[in-house]
Amino acid sequence: TGVICWSNGCHQPAKAKGDYVMTEFSRLLTSGESGESPITAGRPDESFLLQQITPVDGEAEMPRGKAPLHELEIALIKRWIAEGAIDDTPANAKQHFDAEHPPVYSRPPVITSLDWSPDGALLAVAGLHEVLLHRADGSGIEARLIGLSERIQSVRFSPDGKLLAAAGGQPGRMGEVQIWDVANRELKTSVPVGYDTVYGVSWSPDGEHVSFGLPDKTVRAIEARSGKQILQQMAHEDWVLDTVFSTNGTHVISVGRDMTAKLTEVPTQRFVDNITSITPGALRGGLSSVARHPTRDEVLVGGSDGAPQVFQVFRQAARKIGDNATLLRKFPPLPGRIFSVDYRPDGDALAAGAALDGKGVVHLYAAKYDTTIPEVLLKAYEKTSGGYSAEERGAIEKFTTDGVKLLHRIDVPAAVYAVSFSPDGRRLAAGTGAGIILGIDAETGAVDLVFSAAPVSAADELPQLVETVPSRIPLPDDTLQLDVLPGEAAVERLTIQPDRIAPANRNEHAQLLVTAHLASGDTVDVTRAAQFEVGEGLGEVSPRGRFTAKRSGEGILLATFNGKSASVPVDLSGFKTEFEANFIRDVNPVLSKLGCNAGTCHGAKDGKNGFKLSLRGYDPLFDVRALADDHAARRVNLASPDESLMLLKATGAVPHEGGQRTTMDSEYYAIMRRWIADGAMLTTSPKVTRLEVFPTNPVVQQIGSRQQMRIVAHYADGISRDVTSEAFIESGNTDVATADERGLISTLRRGEAPILARYEGNYAATTLTVMGDRAGFAWVEPPVNNRIDELVAAKWQRMKILPSDLCTDAEFIRRVSLDLTGLPPTAKEVREFLENPRDQRSKRDALIERLLNSPEFIDHWANKWADLLQV
C-alpha cells in the first residue's frame, strides 16, 4: 500500500500531500490535514486510512487517480490494524532521513554519479538518501534534495537545466525515479519502478522523456512530468546499467552486464539492433556506462574490460555473423573496470573513469577524427568475420585506431565511479569511492580542485542504528541439559583446555574443555555442567563454555565440578576492546559460516541473482571486488555501514532468497560492519597453515552424552587462534553421532564416528568413540605377533571389547585360503596342515607365504581388481 500511496510523490517526506507521510511509522499514525486518525490500532472500522482505500461502487478516494487496491491487499491492511498495527520494521530498514532530518555523515558517501547544470553553475552529486547540489567552484553546497531512495545511482539535469532526474531506490526492495524542480528544490514526481535500484537515467533532447535501466533486464522510459511509462523493452539478458537517447530522441541506447549495447525505438517500443558485436570475445565483460556524441549518433561505451570504444548507432553494413561493423574507434584501456564515460561538449575529446582494488584512474583522450567508414571496410563487412583477408583486417585495425591519442592519465588514490565534463568543456569533474570530488583542468590534466561530497560530522553526532555492541554470538537457548556421570562414578580430578587463555581482542574467544577424570580411568566432558569463576572480572563464560574477554589484565579462571576444581591463567595484558576487521582473517570465515559463499548460494558457478562469490572464499581478491567495488560499491555503504546491502540482506531487513542469516546484535554482524566502516578494503593477512582438533580421539562413555570439540587454527606468522565458532565441524557417521554448528557432538548409539573440521581451506580430523553400557568390563591382554596386532589390541581396549579366542588350525586354513585364493583348501592340504608338528605361529606364517606365491592368489586378486576397476 505504501508503495502505491507515495508514488508520484503523494505521501513521502519530500512531498507530503495532505500533510500526511506514509514512509515512516510514527508519521503513518499521525493525522494529516483532515484531522482524522489514519490508523486506530485494534479498530480497523475507525481507521480513516482504511475508509479512504476501500472502494464504493468500484471507486476509492485513495490512491487518487489510480485503480483501487485489490480486495486481498485491503484485507491484509485491515487484519494488520485489527492485530494491533505493530511496527515490526527492522531497525536498519527504517526511513531515517527527510528534509528536516538530513543525512549525517561519518565519512563522505560513495559518489556513484555527478552532472553539471547546463549553465555550469551547479554540480549535482549522488549522495546517501539525497542529491547534493554543489556550487561548481567547490565553495559549498547550494541545496540538498532529500527523497525516499537511500541510494542514488544516477543524476542528470534536463537539457534546459530546470529539472533534475535522479535514479536509485532501496537496494533489494524498490527502485525509484525522482524528478526535481531545481529552482524551487521541490520534488515534482516520484515514480516507483521495479524491486531494486534504478540505473543510468538520461533525458531525451527535448526534455520530455526520461529513460533508465533496471536489474530486471528492462530498459524503460517515462514522461518526465506525469511519470507515465512509454517504453518497456526486455531485449537484455542481464542488468541494464546505463541509457542514452539518440540525437533526435526517437531511440534509446542501453548497455548492461550482458556485454551488449542495444538499440530500441521509443514510439514502437521495438528492439532494433545489437549495436555492439555479440560474438564471444568481442567485448570481454559487461558494460557499465554509455555516452552519446554531442552531435552525431555515435556512442562511447566502457565496462569491465577497461577499454573505451566508440560505436555507430545506426549501422551502414548489414549484420553478418561475427562482425563488429559498427565499431568506429577503440582507445587504450584503463587499469580496472570502467564505471563512467563522457564526451566533451564539442565532441573532440572524451573521458573515462575506472577503479581497481580501491584505486582509481581517469583517462582523457583526443576524439577528433573522421568516422566515415571507408568503402573498403564496407565491402569487407559484407563477409562474415572469418572471411576477412589479412589486408582487410589490417585496414580495420588502422581505421579503428586512427587519431586515437591518450592526452592525460590522472591516478587517483580512490576508486573513480563518475566523470562529467563542464558545459564549456574546460573542466572535468571526477567522483570517487572516498566521497571526494576532483576538479580537473581538461587541457592540462592537472587536478586543481578537491572537495568533499558532503559535510562530515563528529562521531558523537551520528545517529546510532545499533544501540548495543554485542559481546558474543547469540546461541540457541538449548539450556544444554547437563550430562550426567555414568553410574556411581567418582571424579578424581579435573583438567581444562587450553592451558592458557589469552585473546588479543574482543573478536577472539576461547572454547573451554573441562574434562572429569574418573576413578575407573574413564574421562567425561563436563564443560556444560562446570561452574566458572573469572578473576578480576576479566571476562565471562557462556553456558557452552566459551570464554569472552571484557577488559585487559591478568587473572585466573577457576572451574569446579562435583567437588573438584581446576584453574588456568588468563593473560589479557595485551587485550584491545576495539579491533580492525581483516577480510581474510575475520570476514571471509563469517561469510563461509553464514553459507554466503557455499556452492548452493553465491559460491555457485554463476552466483545467485547477479551476485557471485568465490566458492568457500578461495579467492578473497575476487570477493572484495564483488562486495566493495561492483556497481560502484553497491553492496557496501561506507558512509552508513548499517545500510549496506550485504548487511540488510543477511539480517533479513530486505528480501533475501537465502533467508535471515544473522541478526543486528550478533558478533558476525559486528565483524562485517566493522570491516565496512573501516573502508571495506583487502589487506594482507597470514594464511592458516594447519588445524588442530581437541580432544584427540575422545571416548564418550554413555549413549546420549555429549562432547564439545575445540578447533585451533595455526597461522603462517606463528599465531594460533581458537576458531571453534567459525569452523565447520561434521560427523562422518551420523548414525552414531551428530555435530551442531558450534562443535557440540551428540551421541546416538554405540560405535565410532570420524569428526572432520574444516576452516579456510584446511582440514583436521579425529575419531569419536561411543561406548554405551560396558559395566563389568575387564581387559585381558590378547597375544600379539606384530605391530598390527598391537594397534588392533589398543583399539579393542579403548572401545572395551574383548576379542574372541584364537581360531583353531582347521578354521584358520579355511579362512585364509578363501581370503587369499577365493578357494577352499583341499582335504589333503587340511590334513597336512593339521598334522604339521611345528609351532602354531610358524606353520601359519608358512601357509600364508605359500598362498601368496600361488597362481590361485594371482588369478583371484587380478579378477577382483578387474571387477573393481571395471577393466
Number of structural domains, the chain?
A: 4
Task: Read off the pLDDT of residues 147-161 as tens digits, 9 standing for 90 and up.
Answer: 889 899 999 999 999
Average pLDDT, the chain: 89
Beta bridge partners of 257: none
Q: Could you tell me which residues come within 8 angstroms of residue 290 by beta carbon, excluding any fewer than 6 positions away?
A: 200, 242, 243, 244, 253, 254, 255, 261, 299, 300, 301, 341
Q: Which residue pairs, CB below 8 angstroms and at least 24 apart, start in 460-469?
A: 461/104, 462/104, 462/106, 463/96, 463/104, 465/91, 465/92, 465/96, 465/642, 465/643, 465/664, 466/91, 466/92, 466/642, 466/664, 466/665, 466/669, 466/673, 468/665, 469/670
Q: Considering 64, 88, 112, which residue would you say is the last residue of a domain?
A: 88
Q: Is residue 123 part of a domain?
A: no
Contact 280, 289 (CB under 8 A): no
Question: How much of the chain exceeds pLDDT 70, in percent?
Answer: 92
> Do 660 and 619 fall into the same domain?
yes
pLDDT (0 to 100) of residue 352: 98
Q: Is residue 458 part of a domain?
A: no
pLDDT (0 to 100) of residue 282: 58
352 CB burial (10 A radius; 0-12, 13-18, 19+): buried
Using DSSP bridges, classify how beta strands 122-126 and 128-135 pair: parallel, antiparallel or unpaired.
antiparallel
Q: Is residue 715 part of a domain?
A: yes
pLDDT (0 to 100) of residue 83: 86
Contact 362, 370 (CB under 8 A): no
Cα dist from 767 to 726, 742, 779, whole Å: 21, 18, 21
Here the CATH number for the domain that contains residue 711 is 2.60.40.1080
Q: Is residue 549 part of a domain?
A: no
Task: Read off the pLDDT of residues 534-563 as tens digits, 9 standing for 90 and up.
Answer: 988 899 999 999 999 999 999 999 999 999
**Is residue 484's pLDDT more than 70?**
no
**Is residue 8's pLDDT more than 90?**
no
Task: Read off the pLDDT of residues 93-141 as tens digits, 9 standing for 90 and up.
Answer: 666 677 778 888 888 999 999 999 999 999 999 999 999 999 999 999 9
> Do 703 and 655 fall into the same domain?
no
> Do 670 and 700 fall into the same domain?
no
Task: Read off the pLDDT of residues 294-320 as tens digits, 9 standing for 90 and up.
Answer: 999 999 999 999 999 999 999 988 887
pLDDT (0 to 100) of residue 203: 98
Place of cell 566533451: 344
User: Which of 162-171, 520-529, 729-738, 811-820 is the least confident region?
Assistant: 520-529
Contact 432, 450 (CB under 8 A): no
Domain that holds residue 660: 583-677
Q: What is the C-alpha separation between 508 and 502, in angstroms, rounded?
A: 9
**Is residue 30's pLDDT more than 50?**
yes
Over residues 822-832, mean pLDDT: 94
Specify the amino acid at residue 452: S
Over residues 781-787, mean pLDDT: 87
Q: Considering 677, 698, 713, which residue would you say is the last residue of a domain?
A: 677
pLDDT (0 to 100) of residue 19: 67
Q: What is the C-alpha separation between 594 and 473, in angstroms, rounded?
A: 13
User: Is 212 in a helix, a strand, or coil?
Assistant: strand
Q: Predicted confidence band at 283 (pLDDT cuts at 50, 70, 90)?
A: low
Q: What is the C-alpha separation between 110 and 365, in angstroms, rounded?
A: 25
> Do 695 and 656 fall into the same domain?
no
> Do 673 and 726 fall into the same domain?
no
> Do 660 and 692 fall into the same domain?
no
> Do 589 and 663 fall into the same domain?
yes
**Is residue 825's pLDDT more than 60?**
yes
Q: What is the C-alpha separation between 262 and 260, in angstroms, rounded?
A: 6
Q: Considering 770, 790, 817, which residue would you say is the last residue of a domain?
A: 770
Question: How much of the chain exceeds pLDDT 90, in percent?
Answer: 65
> Do 818 and 864 fall into the same domain?
yes
Contact 211, 202 (CB under 8 A): yes
Task: Read off the pLDDT of residues 720-734 as tens digits, 9 standing for 90 and up.
Answer: 999 999 999 999 999
Task: Read off the pLDDT of residues 51-63 as tens digits, 9 standing for 90 and up.
Answer: 888 888 888 887 7
Distance of alpha carbon 871 from its chain centroid, rounded? Answer: 46
Q: Which of 335, 267, 334, 274 is nearest to 299 (CA)?
A: 274
Q: Predicted confidence band at 349 (pLDDT cuts at 50, 70, 90)?
A: very high
What stretch of H or E contains 809? helix 809-821
**Is residue 851's pLDDT more than 90?**
yes
Using DSSP bridges, classify how beta strands 762-770 and 699-700 pair: parallel, antiparallel or unpaired.
parallel
> Do 635 and 710 fall into the same domain?
no
Q: Is residue 51 part of a domain?
A: yes
Q: Which residue pairs, CB below 8 angstroms and at least 24 apart, start in 80-87?
A: 81/39, 81/40, 81/41, 81/42, 81/43, 81/44, 81/47, 81/50, 82/42, 82/43, 82/44, 83/42, 84/41, 84/42, 85/29, 85/39, 85/41, 85/42, 87/25
**Is residue 462's pLDDT more than 60?**
no
pLDDT (0 to 100) of residue 490: 86
Q: What is the C-alpha separation between 741 and 668, in angstroms, rounded?
A: 14
Over residues 621-630, mean pLDDT: 93
Within 203-360, where are the H helices? none
Given phi > 0 = left and psi -120 to 50 = alpha, else beta, which region is 259? Answer: left
Q: Is residue 857 part of a domain?
A: yes
**Is residue 3's pLDDT more than 70?**
no
pLDDT (0 to 100) of residue 56: 85
Contact 737, 753 (CB under 8 A): yes
Cα dist from 357 to 566, 626, 632, 762, whole Å: 50, 10, 12, 27
Report which listed range, 26-40, 439-453, 519-533, is most confident.
Answer: 439-453
Q: Is residue 609 part of a domain?
A: yes
> Do 753 and 815 fall into the same domain?
no
pLDDT (0 to 100) of residue 52: 85
DSSP letter for each residue of 390-409: HHHHHHHHHHHHTT-EEEEE
User: Is 500 in a helix, a strand, or coil?
Assistant: coil
> Do 661 and 730 fall into the same domain?
no
pLDDT (0 to 100) of residue 406: 96
Place of cell 563477409: 383
Q: Is residue 39 part of a domain?
A: yes
pLDDT (0 to 100) of residue 871: 82
**Is residue 231's pLDDT more than 80?**
yes
Beta bridge partners of 557: 534, 568
Reading the block at residue 284, the C-alpha cell is 570481454
Task: Read off the pLDDT of residues 123-132 as tens digits, 9 standing for 90 and up.
Answer: 999 999 999 9
Task: Read off the pLDDT of residues 380-415 as tens digits, 9 standing for 90 and up.
Answer: 888 877 788 899 889 999 999 998 999 999 999 999
Task: Read off the pLDDT of residues 411-456 as tens digits, 9 standing for 90 and up.
Answer: 999 999 999 999 999 999 999 999 999 999 999 999 999 999 998 8
Over residues 784-808, mean pLDDT: 88
> Do 817 and 735 fall into the same domain?
no
Q: Predicted confidence band at 488 (pLDDT cuts at 50, 70, 90)?
A: low
